[in-house]
Amino acid sequence: MARQGRRTRGDRPTAGGARGAACLLTALLALGGCAAPGPADPAPREIQGLLDRQARALLARDEAAYTVGLDPSLAPAALREFDHLAEVPLGSWNYRVTDVDRADGGRATVRAELRYQVRGYDPGPVTTERLLELTRRHGRWYVSADRPGEKTAVQQLWQQGEVEAVRGRHSLVLGVGQPEERLRAIAAAADEAVPAVSAAWPSAWAGRVVVLVPSSLDAMGGLLGAPGASYRGIAAVTTGEVRGGPDSPADRVIVNPEAYGALGAFGRQIVLTHETTHVATRAATSPATPVWLSEGFADWVAYRGTGRSAAQAAPELHRAVAAGDLPATLPDDRAFAFGADGEALARAYEGGWLACALIAERWGERRLTDFYRAVGAHPSREGAVEKALHDVLGTTPDAFTAAWRRHLSERLA
């Protein structure tokens, strides 16, 4: 490492010295020892301009303008997606080019960030990565392929078929390959869920929810970038970026048409209220929030006011406790993994719910929501629950765990 010293009066270059240095630099450039930078590659700017035009044409529903930027090899598939989007009320749609890899023969591979918002429903944009192939002919770029990025591998609903939209009072349900009556029933359940969540969660939130209903379990997996079998038996999931703060991206509730359809009316309402809770609490949920708290709180909101007993709402844990198998600790994050043993997964959810129910009963509902926010506001997972237990509830992890185990024994034995 070179040490930087203080410059003295004798360090200042003279005019003659400066002219000599300039002459030396000129000579070196002439000899090729130091090449001047060449002109910047215009391709990224040109490609960004093309994608900007494509975005404007899509938002304006201008098919002719949209077609201009498509290579003939992509046009049929791209125009089908253009048509599939017709009922989606888009408020914004834009691309940001993040990388351009030029190839021989006038081709380029482009990585781009797609950001879009559903008008009237999304407080922030949904962000997804796209991998585009472009071809250059006669001095212009054309999009010749468009697929999910390598990092996400996530499909969009309109890539699976024509999207039908049903608007509720507080909801927008977007479905592919589903009867309209089913979409309307889901919208009605979501409309009941939103005020129920607002009554339990006093913090401000959008008060609206977007629900996606794919055609099958496998199609659901395509929206989540995972095998559909991973979600067998899971009635719905909520997607979103857990990072906390008011600028958290928009969430989507994705319904598993098979598992959701097998539920009765009460079960379907519980599912949508649970998932809507995740949407409402997203800004207060962060990597510091353990899964038992986020899932337990969502279940607490869903069962709040239903009159269901602990034994009715927690049948798997009820059977375990009645058989003398009382859990020693609160469930850790691994217990909530999709694809795990169904009974064990149910016990994890039920244990989280009863922990939140304990807080609401002993300390009050307001303290429960304060506790949730305090945990999510902590800068890291380590110490988050411990500090919130101390600051909000005036207790310790050991004391809380003991109280939770007594609560299970009293309610479920």
CATH code of residue 229: 3.30.2010.30
Structural domain contains residue 27: no
Domain-terminating residue out of 260, 280, 300: 280
Query: Which residues span the domain enclosing 77?
Result: 43-153
Same domain, 370 and 320: yes
Structural domain contains residue 25: no
Same domain, 307 and 276: no
Structural domain contains residue 225: yes
Same domain, 74 and 106: yes
Structural domain contains residue 183: yes
pLDDT given for residue 216 in this prediction? 97
Domain-terminating residue out of 261, 280, 299: 280
Structural domain contains residue 242: yes
Domain-terminating residue out of 137, 153, 169: 153
pLDDT given for residue 241 in this prediction? 67
Same domain, 307 and 255: no
Same domain, 170 and 254: yes
pLDDT given for residue 240 in this prediction? 76
Same domain, 143 and 224: no
Task: Give the pLDDT confidence of 46-62 residue by residue, as tens digits.
Answer: 999 999 999 999 999 99
Structural domain contains residue 141: yes
Same domain, 290 and 410: yes
Structural domain contains residue 337: yes
Structural domain contains residue 32: no
pLDDT given for residue 2 in this prediction? 33
User: For the whole prediction, is pTM greater than 0.75?
Assistant: yes
pLDDT given for residue 42 in this prediction? 86
pLDDT given for residue 365 in this prediction? 98
CATH number at residue 70: 3.10.450.50
* Residue ranges for the chain with pLDDT beneath 70: 1-39, 241-249, 339-340
Same domain, 176 and 251: yes
Same domain, 344 and 257: no
pLDDT given for residue 247 in this prediction? 55
Same domain, 408 and 305: yes
Same domain, 293 and 212: no
Same domain, 72 and 122: yes
Give dist(CA 255, CA 272) in Å, integer. 9
- The number of folded domains in the chain is 3
